[in-house]
């Protein structure tokens, strides 16, 4: 791996904006990169500590060795990070998730965020104009909101104004996957650009009540809340992403194993499954196993969406496909290709075994969500900042 030193690069703010380049921290398998590239952005740097995810990354992105640094973020030198327009950080959610131990930003995993901010701080006058963070919505309430506030205050201290919004992948793919995003703009650039009135916005799907309340109750934070409207009314069906796997294939569970899954359902969910079985056509649902009252239960979902993909660290995190109709029923795990489709990465080149692939996709971002943010948030910001910089250069403002 080449070790580069960018500390002496000359900074041309207009050029940095126009280049639309990005550094992807906590890169995982590269789905943030896929989403940004679809909207005209160019990768210059990527970093992650996980060798299994990197194996997937380089299996798909053939240029990985040119820009990917496989290492703990705390070990990175800020001089090794090039000048970029945008730095993204999908830092570990383990300690922020409702499903985790809720240790917060000082937890073993999520504390990696501080490694990211240390790099940004030490880049000094090379700080990227824009930062984008992504994490689970549990981040908003972690430690009663103190963790989220601490992150935003830290970004303010580093010279950034902040905005936040929530997007659900179900607006783009048949998967329920809410994520919280933070976009921060360096104030050096805002001096050339008239920011919008900071707290004049209405509660909506992108800033629901919990987030809107947080913004209003933390008015001392340097906000730059941008008008943001989602207008796509498409509906997405689970059936559309399912691979056509013959019923005699070994991927489908044995009848005894499928029957056992059915026996683990509550009366309510068992009733739904039996109605599916009695139908004259096949229909599909997904199942997670969960522990309820110290007993493992199989919870069936049939609203046309898969549940949120997760990393298969335990059996309960492995999502099961349930197919029923014509008096029969079948069960199997979702395939890696189906998981790729649920993340909007339909053509992702999968070069690893099942569990590695499930782990990689379960700990990634949804590609069309990122593309939507780029098209509707990042690209308009770049256009406005660039036009403002040009006018300033020409003495028009």
What's the whole-number average pLDDT of the chain?
A: 88
Residue-wise pLDDT for 117-133, tens only, equals: 999 999 999 999 999 99
Token readout for 379 is 């690209």
pLDDT band at 298 (very low <50, low <70, confident <90, very high): very high
pLDDT of residue 107: 52
The answer to whether residue 20 scores a pLDDT higher than 60 is yes
Residue-wise pLDDT for 144-200, tens only, equals: 999 999 999 999 999 999 999 999 999 999 999 999 999 999 988 776 554 444 555
pLDDT band at 373 (very low <50, low <70, confident <90, very high): very high
Bridge partner residues of 330 (DSSP): 323
Percent of the chain residues past pLDDT 90, beyond the cut: 72
Residue-wise pLDDT for 267-280, tens only, equals: 999 999 999 999 99
Strand order in the sheet with 42-48: 68-70, 42-48, 21-25, 86-89, 130-136, 178-186, 160-168
Of 319, 265, 252, the residue nearest 288 (C-alpha): 319
The answer to whether domain 13-232+361-393 has CATH 3.40.50.150 is: yes
CATH 3.40.50.150 in the chain, residues? 13-232+361-393
The answer to whether residue 11 scores a pLDDT higher than 70 is no
């Amino acid at each position: 791996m080449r070790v580069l030193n960018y500390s002496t690069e000359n900074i041309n703010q207009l050029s940095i904006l126009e280049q639309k380049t990005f550094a992807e921290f906590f890169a995982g398998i590269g789905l943030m990169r896929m989403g940004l590239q679809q909207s005209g952005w160019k990768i210059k740097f990527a970093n992650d500590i996980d060798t299994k995810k990197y194996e997937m990354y380089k299996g798909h992105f053939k240029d990985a060795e040119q820009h990917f640094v496989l290492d703990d973020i705390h070990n990175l030198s800020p001089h090794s990070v090039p000048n970029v327009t945008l730095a993204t950080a999908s830092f570990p959610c383990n300690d922020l998730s409702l499903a985790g131990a809720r240790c917060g930003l000082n937890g073993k995993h999520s504390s990696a965020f501080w490694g990211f901010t240390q790099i940004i701080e030490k880049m000094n006058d090379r700080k990227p104009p824009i930062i984008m963070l992504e994490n689970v919505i549990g981040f908003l309430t972690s430690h009663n909101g103190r963790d989220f506030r601490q992150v935003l205050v830290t970004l303010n201290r580093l010279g950034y104004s902040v905005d936040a919004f929530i997007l659900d992948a179900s607006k783009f793919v048949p998967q329920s996957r809410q994520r919280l995003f933070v976009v921060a703009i360096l104030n050096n650039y805002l001096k050339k650009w008239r920011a919008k009135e900071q707290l004049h916005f209405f509660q909506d799907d992108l800033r629901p009540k919990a987030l809107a309340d947080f913004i209003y109750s933390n008015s001392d934070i340097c906000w730059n809340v941008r008008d943001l409207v989602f207008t796509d009314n498409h509906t997405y069906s689970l059936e559309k992403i399912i691979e056509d796997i013959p019923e005699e294939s070994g991927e489908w569970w044995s009848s005894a194993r499928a029957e056992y899954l059915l026996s683990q359902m509550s009366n309510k969910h068992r009733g739904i499954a039996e109605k599916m079985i009695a139908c004259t056509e096949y229909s599909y649902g997904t199942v997670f196993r969960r522990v309820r009252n110290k007993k493992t239960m199989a919870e069936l979902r049939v609203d046309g969406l898969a549940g949120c993909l997760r990393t298969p660290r335990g059996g309960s995190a492995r999502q099961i496909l349930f197919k029923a109709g014509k008096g029969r029923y079948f069960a199997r795990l979702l395939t890696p290709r189906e998981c790729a489709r649920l993340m909007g990465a339909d053509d992702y080149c999968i070069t690893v075994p099942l569990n590695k692939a499930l782990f990689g996709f379960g700990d990634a971002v949804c590609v069309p969500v990122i593309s939507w943010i780029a098209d509707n948030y990042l690209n308009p910001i770049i256009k406005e900042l660039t036009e403002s910089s040009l006018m300033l250069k020409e003495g028009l403002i």
